[in-house]
């Protein structure tokens, strides 16, 4: 794979990861609960820690996948494993279109087991300090791992194809892209919007978000497959 193809893969995978909704939903919950109890400054601090938590776990997991592929696959996924990863991405696209959101009008509830969402909701209500917010970010990002695991395989494979000086930058770029929606939300709320407005936007654009998420997974799979075949 050429460097440009690798960079494009990282960008596309980052966008697919950014389109996942649990991190954003968790942040909206945290904002809503925290603004009701704390001063704005404290809430911003908690939100920053939450975003840092999601970023940190994404960075670490991608780095771990790079290590895994570097050590167990000699630096690049074999064709069989790549086909499995791309198949999983395709399956994720279908899941995003059909099952990612629970059925029901007026709700953006996700596919996750109720016990996990209940736990995240409870923690978002109780979060009072930076460490708790950071670990809530870790948790919400980790909970979405079944969907993002295929992304991590593909992106780690692309990162390892870059020259070694650019590999860390690749992981950082992927992490930064994946947290963009949360950073935007934080800016919007700091600029005077409320968490309720953000949730109303999510609700209104639920179908659009579903299509975007599914399409980004499928586009990434097709993109990587096309360049793999061309190679």
Give the nearest distance from C-beta 206 to another protein in angstroms: 11
Give the nearest distance from C-beta 81 to another protein in angstroms: 32
User: How many Å apart are CA 173 and CA 171, to the nearest integer?
Assistant: 5
Residue whose CB is less far from another protein, 36 or 87: 36
Tell me which residue has tokens 């996942």.
20
CA atoms within 13 A on the CB side of 50: 31
Residue whose CB is less far from another protein, 16 or 112: 112
Give the nearest distance from C-beta 21 to another protein in angstroms: 7
Let me know: does 14 contact 151? Beta carbons within 8 Å. no
Let me know: does 77 contact 1? Beta carbons within 8 Å. no
Residue whose CB is less far from another protein, 3 or 109: 109
Let me know: does 195 contact 35? Beta carbons within 8 Å. yes
User: How many Å apart are CA 51 and CA 45, to the nearest integer?
Assistant: 10
Residue whose CB is less far from another protein, 31 or 217: 31
Let me know: does 39 contact 129? Beta carbons within 8 Å. no
Give the nearest distance from C-beta 151 to another protein in angstroms: 20
Residue whose CB is less far from another protein, 25 or 170: 25
- Residue 137's nearest CA partner among 41, 60, 36, 38 is 60
User: How many Å apart are CA 177 and CA 12, to the nearest integer?
Assistant: 9
Give the nearest distance from C-beta 195 to another protein in angstroms: 6
- Residue 20's nearest CA partner among 115, 113, 100 is 100
Residue whose CB is less far from another protein, 22 or 150: 22
Give the nearest distance from C-beta 205 to another protein in angstroms: 14
Tell me which residue has tokens 């999601």.
54
Write out the residues near another protein by the rule CB under 8 A.
21-22, 25-26, 28-29, 31-37, 104, 106-110, 112, 117, 120-121, 192, 194-196, 199-200, 203
């Amino acid at each position: 794979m050429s460097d440009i193809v690798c960079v494009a893969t990282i960008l596309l995978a980052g966008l697919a990861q950014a389109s996942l909704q649990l991190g954003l939903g968790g942040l909206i919950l945290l904002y809503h609960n925290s603004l009701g109890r704390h001063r704005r400054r404290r809430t911003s601090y908690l939100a920053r820690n939450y975003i840092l938590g999601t970023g940190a776990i994404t960075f670490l997991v991608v780095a771990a996948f790079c290590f895994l592929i570097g050590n167990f696959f000699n630096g690049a996924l074999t064709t069989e494993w790549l086909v499995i990863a791309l198949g999983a991405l395709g399956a994720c696209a279908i899941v995003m279109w059909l099952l990612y959101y629970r059925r029901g009008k007026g709700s953006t509830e996700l596919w996750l087991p109720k016990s996990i969402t209940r736990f995240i909701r409870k923690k978002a209500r109780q979060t009072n300090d930076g460490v708790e917010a950071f670990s809530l970010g870790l948790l919400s990002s980790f909970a979405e791992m079944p969907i993002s695991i295929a992304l991590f395989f593909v992106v780690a494979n692309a990162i390892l194809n870059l020259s070694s000086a650019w590999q860390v930058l690749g992981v950082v770029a992927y992490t930064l892209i994946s947290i963009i929606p949360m950073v935007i939300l934080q800016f919007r709320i700091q600029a005077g919007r409320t968490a309720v407005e953000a949730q109303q936007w999510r609700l209104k654009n639920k179908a659009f978000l579903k299509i975007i998420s599914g399409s980004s997974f499928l586009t990434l799979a097709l993109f990587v497959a096309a360049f793999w075949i061309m190679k």
